[in-house]
């Protein structure tokens, strides 16, 4: 009978040891998560959701951009080192692609007017050339050029509608006379 009692004590001790050991392992996992270092970074500019993000220490610029919902199509990621490590408290400004006219094109007579289809290229036309379009006077031509220089090239009619003074009626007047 004494041998059976010792067996039970041994079995109960092993069970208690397993339970205690399991508790310690789970506790260490929780401690590990709490001990991991985080950094706080500000992601701004041409990303879907600019803001302040908590990332794991050792994160890189690309991780910050992904945390902010990814880059916008207008983002110029080539101007950033996507592999650079982030530091706590830093700000990453994702730049937009800048629009600059090719100076060699600026001086060609065919830059804004394509003689094969008689259309004006809205992204290269001068103010004077834009005035040749129906309903586009000097002030509206100036706003088109200013908008283009500030925001980059027009890619669609929707982009052109963002210029103050251009609505659906004006678009319908010029849409067959312009190209991108």
Beta strands 119-121; 113-114: pairing state:
antiparallel
Q: Where are the domains of the chain?
A: 38-94, 103-179
CA distances from 45 to 68, 77, 152 (A): 10, 11, 15
* DSSP structural state of residue 77: G
Q: How far apart are the first and last CA of the chain?
A: 97
Q: Token digits for 113? A: 């007017």
Query: Quick check: 136 and 144 in contact, CB under 8 A?
Result: yes
pLDDT in tens, 9-35: 878 888 877 787 777 766 655 555 555
Cβ atoms within 10 Å of 82's Cβ, excluding its own = 13
Q: How far apart are CA 51 and CA 78, in angstroms?
A: 21
pLDDT average, residue stretch 143-148: 88
d(CA 24, CA 21): 5
Give tens-digit pLDDT for 90-118.
Answer: 989 898 886 544 433 333 333 344 444 57
Q: Give residue-wise pLDDT tens across range 67-79.
A: 999 999 888 898 8
- Residue-level pLDDT at 117: 56
pLDDT digits (tens, 9 = 90+) for 2-14: 667 788 887 888 8
Looking at CATH, the fold of the domain delimited by 103-179 is given as: DNA polymerase; domain 1 (1.10.150)
**pLDDT computed for residue 62 by the predictor:** 96
Q: How far apart are CA 6 and CA 180, in angstroms?
A: 90
Task: Evaluate if residue 176 carries a pLDDT over 80.
Answer: yes
- Find tokens 């880059």 and name the residue: 71
Q: Does this model's pTM top 0.85?
A: no
Can you say whether the dihedral through the CA atoms of 148, 149, 153, 159 is positive or negative? negative
Q: Is 64 helix (H, G, I), strand (E, B) or coil?
A: helix
* Residue 1 confidence (pLDDT): 55
Q: Whose CA is closest to 88, among 47, 37, 44?
A: 37
């Amino acid at each position: 009978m004494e041998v059976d009692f010792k067996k039970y004590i041994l079995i109960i001790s092993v069970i208690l040891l397993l339970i205690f050991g399991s508790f310690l392992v789970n506790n260490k996992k929780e401690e590990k998560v709490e001990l991991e270092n985080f950094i706080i970074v500000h992601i701004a500019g041409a990303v879907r959701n600019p803001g302040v993000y908590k990332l794991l220490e050792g994160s890189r610029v690309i991780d910050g951009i992904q945390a902010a919902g990814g880059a916008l199509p207008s983002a110029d990621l080539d101007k950033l080192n996507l592999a650079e490590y982030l530091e706590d408290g830093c700000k990453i400004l994702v730049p937009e692609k800048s629009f600059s006219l090719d100076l060699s094109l600026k001086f060609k007579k065919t830059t804004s007017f394509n003689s094969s289809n008689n259309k004006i290229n809205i992204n290269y036309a001068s103010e004077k050339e834009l005035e040749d379009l129906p309903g586009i006077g000097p002030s509206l031509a100036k706003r088109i050029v200013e908008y283009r220089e500030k925001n980059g090239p027009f890619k669609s009619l929707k982009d052109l509608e963002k210029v103050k003074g251009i609505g659906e009626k004006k678009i319908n007047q010029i849409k067959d006379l312009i190209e991108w």
